[in-house]
Structure 1
Amino acid sequence: MRGDSVKELLQSLHTTANEEERRLWAAACAQALGLGGITISVGRELVWFSDATSKRLEDLQFVLGQGPGLLLDDESSVREVPDLEQALAQRWPQYATEATLLGIAALFVWPVHIGAVEVGTMTGYRRTPGLLGERQSANGWLVAEALAEYVLNHWPATVGDREGDGLPGGVGLHRAEVHQATGMLSARLRIPLPEALDRLRAQTYISRLSLTDTAHAVLRRELLWETGGDTD
């Protein structure tokens, strides 16, 4: 799969039947685009990523509430951050600092559309600074459009309170545990869900754990907050 062209990879997209195959496909696609890795997010859900670094970058945006994939100014163009160090004192100081510590030099964000509506983003990173080439940008749009259709057709079905598999090859919702942990914190501390999520995000940043690991610690009751004298 590695070494395939973007056109060849798009033709094989429908054959990605499980999580491992989707990651291998995304890694090959990133390579074909001249990128180190890519992620795809729909709303607040991370649904696809090529490698641990790309997942970490997407989680940083979620935890910090800042980054190039949030609140795109123009839904019809690629947001390019060709030199991340220059963004340190500008729009995303915390995010840029954390990303540069991971060795990231440049970031690129394509809006993901279903019809005329922007539903998410495809974000790619590179470890060398510089703008995208015209062909890279155009190929990125092709990938983003194909992934939008794939995600729409393979969104997991909901069975009761749990996520089902949906159609074969259904995409994974990688923040399901985060939502569960948020609900547990909300009930335990008797606070609104947004405040519970803010506490979870803050703990993730302070502890330097991944967002998923922090959520797991809450669900396993290894990480507890003061309840103001209340008990379970």
Structure 2
Amino acid sequence: MGSTVRDLLGRLSGRADDTRRKAWAHACAEALGLGGVAVTVNEELVWFSDTTSERLEDLQFTLGQGPGLGLDDPVEMRQIPDLGELLARQWPQFAPEAVKLGVAALFVWPVRLGAVPVGTLTGYRRTTGPLTARQVSEGWLVADVLAEHVLANWPAEPDANGPGHAGTVDLHRAEVHQATGVLSVRLNIPLAEALDRLRARAYASGRSLTDTAHDILRQELPHDDH
């Protein structure tokens, strides 16, 4: 028998490294009846259970579309039980890309600090249909516990935080911010415009925003001619 959500929340440890956090998130997704989950706080992707969850958050950030954006009500939870119905209407770019990943349904809870939304917990399924009332309720519980956990383990020095460090969360978009700064200086444009150009480059190439940012940063490294 699989673990219950309450069992898993009792095992959540601030000392876990990135591999263990992903394993925990995957088990939590299964307990909620989801294929995977991802957590974004203050527009930083801090936790995800699998590559599909990571890619979904990346698409929302790149396109500026998706169910996790504009979720400002601390008591609003979004259920999209059939993503295919939105292809021609809401999120015209995001929805088709999500469907290509095999995603059929999406569910988003606000991650709250008190009564203030600071991020989202997004889960997906590969089959259509709504969650049960119990799954919705347990999703709220997970979102609230993760809010406390992530903020308690937020790195004091983001630039020094790399993947896999125990006792802290990983800021998976650190390279995106660095590459945005590089483009801003290189092209002599504002940071907001530089980020838009980075997003457009990633979307046009079909690659993740992180990989695109990594390429830009690698171009800035000095080359050894010897």
TM-score range, shorter chain: over 0.9
Question: Match of 2:216?
Answer: 218
Query: Structure 2: how far apart are the matches of 1:204 and 1:55?
Result: 15
Change (3 A) 1:156 1:73: closer
What amino acid is the match of 2:130? L
Q: Alpha-carbon deviation of 1:118?
A: 0.4
Aligned counterpart, 1:44: 43
Tell me which residue corresponds to 1:205.
203
Q: Once the 2 structures are TM-superposed, how far is the Cα of residue 16 of structure 1 from its aligned partner?
A: 5.1
- CA offset at residue 15 of structure 1? 5.6
Question: Which residue number corresponds to residue 87 of structure 1?
Answer: 86
Could you give the per-residue CA deviations for residues 112-135 of structure 1, whole angstroms, max 9, x where no partner exists? 000111000000000000011000
Report the AA paired with residue 71 of structure 1.
Answer: G
Question: Following TM superposition, by how much is the alpha carbon of 1:143 offset from its aligned partner in structure 2, in angstroms?
Answer: 0.4
Matches within 5 A, 1:151-170: 151-158=150-157, 162-164=159-161, 169-170=167-168
Do the aligned partners of 1:155 and 1:171 also contact (CA within 8 Å) in 2? yes
How many pairs does the alignment contain? Answer: 218
For 1:17-56, what aligned pairs fall within 5 Å after superposition?
17-56=16-55
Q: Distance in 2 between matches of 1:35 and 1:219?
A: 35
What residue number does 2:187 align with? 189
Larger RCO (CA under 8 A, 6+ residues apart)? 2
**RMSD between aligned residues:** 1.6
* 1:97 match: secondary structure: helix
Structure 2 SS opposite 1:104? coil
Shift of 1:158: 1.6
Question: Secondary structure at 1:221's aligned position in 2?
Answer: helix
TM-score by length of 1: 0.90
What residue number does 1:116 align with?
115
Deviation at 1:74, TM superposition (A): 3.5
Aligned-partner Cα distance in 2 for 1:144–1:156: 20
Q: How many Å separate the matches in 2 of 1:15 and 1:220?
A: 32
Mapped contact 1:16–1:25 kept (Cα < 8 A): no
| Paired residues of 2:5 and 2:31 also in contact (CA < 8 A) | yes
> Amino acid of the residue matched to residue 46 of structure 1?
L
Identity %: 62
Residues 8-49 of structure 1, C-alpha deviations (whole Å, 9 max, x = no match): 100000265110010000000000000000000012100000
1:79, CA displacement in angstroms? 0.2
Q: Does 1:12 align with 2:11?
A: yes
Q: CA deviation at 1:164?
A: 4.5
Q: When the two structures are superposed, what TM-score results if normalisation uses the length of structure 2?
A: 0.92
